[in-house]
Structure 1
Amino acid sequence: MPAQSAEQLWKAYNETTATNGASYQTRWFGDQNQPAEVQALTDLVLNGTKTATTTPLDTYTNEQVAIPQVGDYNVLLNGEMKPVAIIKTVVSELIPFYRISAEHAWHEGEGDRSIGDWRKRKTETFAPTLEAHGHQLNTDTPMVSEVFEVVYRAD
């Protein structure tokens, strides 16, 4: 039976492993106002296709959110904003936009998984957000490149 809350899922995970007092945040991938998109990305995480993500550094600074660090835990929420798994950050690097590797694009698990497709899709996504904050997307725009693993599932 799936956990009813993020707190219950975290508690269940803590009963199976030693997290040494670690805490968690809730997290989802995609636009919260687009539940189908969030669910599709959640499904990619749960089936092991999506094990990485990239976010402009500007997003973290403008939203005053901490940059993911190695060892961070997140309770993954699905399209209904219900907890389905716990993911752990295993790599977090600051990399210029055009230095994101083809391997990383593949591990993001979206589109055709090529670097060309990744750059096209991310330009379409990141450019308007950056422009809204008074910045332009260019080859040197700093990106937070993150790799994560599913360490616990609600099912």
Structure 2
Amino acid sequence: MSDSTYSSLPAINHLAAQQLWEEYLAAFDGAERPREYTAECFGDSPELADELLHAVSHGAKRATSSLEIEYAQFDEPLPEVGRYWMICDGRGQPQLITRVSSVEKRSFYDVDADFAAAEGEGDLSLEYWRREHEAFWRRTQGSMGNEWSPSDTDKPGHKVIMERFEVCWPLKFAH
């Protein structure tokens, strides 16, 4: 979602994002220039953004999930393999550049334990993933005046978007 998706998150520092992007491109001089990037924070609060950024930078988190309906609500394109995503901290400062390596759509109840573990959160269990993501999506959809439940993801256009990614930059985090 864009930097204005959840009002409790700060605005993204787009100048710093552009500088980090140029640093990344310069490191691969002569290589094919990647496509555009998106700069965003994880979560819906500065604290959650920092917690999840830490999980990515320390190698625990290599996947994320979102609701397909959110992309329609915010008039944004769905994630696609090969897109670059700059992860920002809870102050809106860009920290890491990632590249989407796979995208799947599933019902909430069809998300498996392997994907839950790849999200790198809590005790890495599917039970934790379900509990925390249900609470998160009820909260974020509720903040927009929408009721949400896991069974909503059984409907077309309402699936869970499951993204896996790799860290590209800075190289010290690309494990």
TM-score over 0.5 for the pair? yes
Instruction: Name the aligned partner's letter for residue 146 of structure 2.
Output: H
**Structure 1 spans left out of the alignment, 5+ residues:** none
Say what the alpha-carbon RMSD is for the aligned residues: 1.9
| Counterpart residue number, 1:49 | 60
Alignment-derived partner of residue 170 in structure 2: 153
* Divergent runs of 4+, >6 A: none
Q: Which runs of 5+ in 2 are unaligned?
A: 1-14
Q: Does 1:126 align with 2:147?
A: no
Task: Find the residue that maps to 1:54 and give its secondary structure.
Answer: strand
- Within the candidate set 6, 10, 24, 2:21 is matched to 10
Specify the alignment match of 1:20 in structure 2.
Answer: 33
Which structure ranks higher in relative contact order (CA pairs < 8 Å, sequence separation ≥ 6)?
Answer: 1
Q: Which amino acid aligns with 1:99?
A: D
Structure 1 residue corresponding to 2:105, chosen from 94, 99, 108: 94
Query: What is the total number of aligned residue pairs between the two structures?
Result: 150
Question: How high is the TM-score relative to the length of structure 2?
Answer: 0.78
1:64-83 → structure 2 map (5 Å cutoff): 64-83=75-94
- The answer to whether residue 54 in structure 2 is matched with residue 37 in structure 1 is no
CA distance in 1, matches of 2:89, 2:79: 20
- Report how far residue 97 of structure 1 moved: 0.8
- Equivalent pair of 2:50/2:89 in contact (CA under 8 Å): yes
Higher strand share: 1
